[in-house]
């Protein structure tokens, strides 16, 4: 691997770490300016001033904000995400299973949506400006225009209530048979697939069409290659960098953007866990989940940047 690539990758990693640090400051500051009193929400309206003062002292709420931030940050660096205020359970332990559930849902949504988006994008290019291209583009535009919560409720109405093919509440648990798990996540995975499929398909189509304007594509046409061969051998390999970028960004959305879908289907993942504890004003849980979401998003964006660098021939073979 040549030194320009090493330097570029090192820059992306350093920027990712700095960005995550900046996001941690924003998450901490955001939770501190939330209205209400954490101690009051824990003890209730009937709590005495003495009990409230003692709890604030115990939780360190009387310390300056910067002291609480660095205590929280150093704890995270040591693997300690803190303790939930409402349940007194270790946050890292509670998050473990829920993170696994979210990744399980995102994984199967990605397995379906990524190949399907690339195939539809290639098909739209192959039959561009024809009826097939217009149908695919129309579907993509309609899917992009509909918010995910509406898609989720439509799926629940038709496939859970009207036809009763799948459960409307997606419950998964340890030891659950694999086929039962797949049936349970069918609707939320479909909702996520429809949300990201259109964007990936449109960007794949745009990236390949951009390459199709190049001179070497005209040369390939003059050689007598079929449209499919031109796309497969010349256009798609040269459009792979932006396609990888789009795929990684949508994978990040699949993990981070599941909050609405998980709430609709009452799926026991990170999104549902976050919403439950926002309602309870459990600040340590909100901070921990927010930081994990940010870390996943930044990591996948960084992987997308690095993959684009490695897929770029001008960087692999510098002059």
Residues in the chain, pLDDT under 70? 1-2, 35-37, 41, 44, 312-319
Beta carbons within 10 angstroms of residue 13's beta carbon: 13
Contacts 24+ apart (CB under 8 A), 34-37: 34/281, 34/283, 36/281
User: Which pTM does this prediction carry?
Assistant: 0.82
The β-bridge partners of 83 are: 90
Q: What DSSP string runs through 125-185?
A: HHTTTSHHHHHHHHHHHHHHHS-HHHHHHHHIIIIIIIS--S-SS----TT--HHHHHHHH
Tens-digit pLDDT profile for residues 116-142: 998 998 888 888 889 999 999 898 888
Q: What pLDDT score does 152 carry?
A: 92
Beta carbons within 10 angstroms of residue 308's beta carbon: 18
Spatial contact of 272 and 262, defined as CB atoms under 8 Å apart? yes
Whole-angstrom distance between the N-terminal and C-terminal Cα of the chain? 14
Q: Among candidates 25, 22, 53, which has minimal Cα distance to 39?
A: 53
Positive or negative, the Cα torsion across 239, 242, 247, 250?
A: negative
Kindly provide the b/e burial profile for residues 125-149, where b requires at least 16 CB atoms within 10 angstroms of the residue's own CB: bbebeeeebeebbeebeebbeeebe
- Those residues whose C-beta lies under 8 Å from the C-beta of residue 5, and which sit 6 or more positions away, are 309, 310, 315, 316
Tens-digit pLDDT profile for residues 38-87: 777 677 677 788 888 887 787 777 788 888 899 889 989 888 888 887 78
Q: Which domains does the chain have, with CATH numbers?
A: 15-77 (no CATH), 97-279 (1.10.3720.10)
| Locus of tokens 């926002």 | 278
User: Three-state SS for 90?
Assistant: strand
Retrieve residue 311's tokens.
Answer: 């897929």
- DSSP assigned state of 284: H
Tens-digit pLDDT profile for residues 245-261: 888 888 888 888 788 89
| Locus of tokens 């003495």 | 50
Beta carbons within 10 angstroms of residue 216's beta carbon: 12
Retrieve residue 201's tokens.
Answer: 């398909």
């Amino acid at each position: 691997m040549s030194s320009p690539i090493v330097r570029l990758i090192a820059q992306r990693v350093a920027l990712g770490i700095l960005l995550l640090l900046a996001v941690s400051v924003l998450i901490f500051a955001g939770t501190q300016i939330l209205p209400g009193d954490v101690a009051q929400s824990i003890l209730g309206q009937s709590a005495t001033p003495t009990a409230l003062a003692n709890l604030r002292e115990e939780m360190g709420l009387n310390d300056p904000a910067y002291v609480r931030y660095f205590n929280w940050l150093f704890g995270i660096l040591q693997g300690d995400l803190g303790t939930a205020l409402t349940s007194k359970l270790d946050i890292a332990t509670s998050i473990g299973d829920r993170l696994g559930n979210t990744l399980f849902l995102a994984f199967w949504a990605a397995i379906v949506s990524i190949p399907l988006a690339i195939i539809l994008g290639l098909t739209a290019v192959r039959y561009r400006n024809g009826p097939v291209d217009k149908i695919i583009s129309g579907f993509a535009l309609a899917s992009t225009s509909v918010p995910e919560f509406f898609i989720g409720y439509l799926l629940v109405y038709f496939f859970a209530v009207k036809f009763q093919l799948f459960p409307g509440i997606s419950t998964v648990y340890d030891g659950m048979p694999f086929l039962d798990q797949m049936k349970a996540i069918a609707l939320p995975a479909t909702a996520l697939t429809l949300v990201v499929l259109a964007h990936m398909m449109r960007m794949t189509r745009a990236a390949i069409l951009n390459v199709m304007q190049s001179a070497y594509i005209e040369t390939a046409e003059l050689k007598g290659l079929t449209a499919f061969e031109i796309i497969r051998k010349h256009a798609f390999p040269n459009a792979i960098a932006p396609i990888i970028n789009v795929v990684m960004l949508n994978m990040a959305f699949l993990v981070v953007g599941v909050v609405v879908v998980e709430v609709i289907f009452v799926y026991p993942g990170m999104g549902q866990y976050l919403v439950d504890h926002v309602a309870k004003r459990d600040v340590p849980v909100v901070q921990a989940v927010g930081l994990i979401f940010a870390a996943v998003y930044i990591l996948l964006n960084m992987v997308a940047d690095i993959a684009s660098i490695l897929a770029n021939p001008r960087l692999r073979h510098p002059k």
